[in-house]
Amino acid sequence: GKENVDWNTSESLCKAKGLQLASLENAKENDLVSAFVVKRAPVSPSDFVHVCLGGSDKKSEGKWYWVDSN
All residues at 6 or more sequence positions from 70 whose CB lies less than 8 Å from its CB, including other chains? 23, 25
pLDDT tens across the length of the chain (70 residues)? 467 788 899 899 989 999 999 889 899 999 998 888 888 776 666 666 677 888 888 888 999 888 887 5
Report the C-alpha gap between 59 and 65 in whole angstroms: 9
**What is the C-alpha to C-alpha distance for residues 1 and 21, in angstroms, rounded to an integer?**
21
Distance CA 35, CA 37 (A): 5
| pLDDT at residue number 5 | 84
Cβ-proximal residues to 7 (8 Å cutoff; 6+ apart), any chain: 52, 56
Q: What is the pLDDT, as a whole number, of residue 1? A: 44
Q: Which amino acid is at 8?
A: N
